[in-house]
Amino acid sequence: MRNIGNIDVRGLTLGFRNFGRTNAVVEDFSFKFDGGSFTSIIGSSGCGKSTLLNAIGGHYKPLAGQILLDGCEIKEPTASLGIVFQQHTLFPWKTVMENVRFGPMQRGVSKVRANAVAAKYIEMVGLAGYGDYYPKMLSGGMQHRAEIARALANAPAVLLMDEPFGALDAQMRASLQSSLLDIWKETHVTIIFVTHDVEEAMYLSERIVVMSRDRGRICEVFALDEPFPRNKDKLFASEGGRDLKEKCIGCLAS
């Protein structure tokens, strides 16, 4: 466990107030994400997993409870909480290089240094040579890579990922998954990964949190001890793997 990148969610209630009535999407949610860990959150659509992730990123104010990053309450989005969204959110008017260096430059890093940092992460995600391209000139998978590079270039303590590979074909998804694991190993960033794909969660994470549709209650938390790098075929064929997958799917269905 590292001493940075710890997320502590305490009694969190998210939702909206409507004419005095409270509609809770997530109610009394508590969980600790250890620094440097890789946790997946799975749940059927509408269970509030995306809302939870946005709240951790500082984009929603909780109705009750609090979220702490290394002991400090998260009140607004900050550079330490990097987010990769499901939709493409690269700035279309900036090249890949300009997109990736945006974070460092916002923090006041000089252009020369920001370029160096950006180049490093662009290479890390396998986009070397595409720095001068505008986002629309790249394929969907390449845009996702650029987005991950942009989030990482800020050296965030936590990387929040909201179904980032949901819209990709199987091949592209597999290659991005293994890139993500390499990046995680290299940077030791805390990753909170939202997905609805059980196999993806099993392949990537150390722990899987299953959220129920009933106000985001935690159904079950599974720990996976399988060491990295994992072999997908072996993982899903093994008895433990099959068992876990069935349990997850059972949880999701209930």
172 lines the binding site for other proteins (CB under 8 A): yes
71, 207, 194, 123: CA torsion to nearest 10: 90
187 lines the binding site for other proteins (CB under 8 A): no
- Residue of 61, 101, 100 whose CA lies nearest to 77: 61
Of 17-25, 103-111, 185-193, 220-228, which segment contacts other proteins by CB under 8 A? 103-111
30 lines the binding site for other proteins (CB under 8 A): no
18 lines the binding site for other proteins (CB under 8 A): no
Site string for other proteins, 37-76 (x = CB under 8 A): -----------------x--xxx----------------x
SS3 126: coil
106 lines the binding site for other proteins (CB under 8 A): yes
139 lines the binding site for other proteins (CB under 8 A): yes
236 lines the binding site for other proteins (CB under 8 A): no
Closest distance of CB 178 from other proteins, Å: 16
145 lines the binding site for other proteins (CB under 8 A): no
- How far apart (Å, rounded) are the C-alpha atoms in residues 36 and 17? 35
SS3 225: coil
Size of the site for other proteins (CB under 8 A): 35
Q: Which of 17, 66, 91, 246 binds other proteins (CB under 8 A)?
A: 91
Helix (H) or strand (E) holding 108: none
SS3 118: helix
Residues between 210 and 229 with contacts to other proteins, criterion CB under 8 A: none
Q: Which of 83, 148, 180, 209 binds other proteins (CB under 8 A)?
A: 83
92 lines the binding site for other proteins (CB under 8 A): yes
- How far apart (Å, rounded) are the C-alpha atoms in residues 148 and 164? 9
Closest distance of CB 235 from other proteins, Å: 22
Residues between 150 and 169 with contacts to other proteins, criterion CB under 8 A: 150-151, 154, 169
Nearer to other proteins, 91 or 228 (CB): 91
- How far apart (Å, rounded) are the C-alpha atoms in residues 235 and 134? 39
Nearer to other proteins, 175 or 212 (CB): 175
Long-range contacts of 243-247 (CB under 8 A, 24+ apart): 244/202, 245/198, 245/199, 245/202, 247/220, 247/222
- How far apart (Å, rounded) are the C-alpha atoms in residues 36 and 164? 19
With beta carbons less than 8 A apart as the criterion, state whether 135 and 146 touch. Answer: yes
129 lines the binding site for other proteins (CB under 8 A): no
DSSP labels for 131-188? Answer: TT--GGGS-HHHHHHHHHHHHHHT--SEEEEESTTTTS-HHHHHHHHHHHHHHHHHH-
- Site for other proteins, rule CB under 8 A: 54, 57-59, 76-79, 81-83, 85, 87, 89, 91-93, 102-103, 106-107, 133-139, 150-151, 154, 169-172
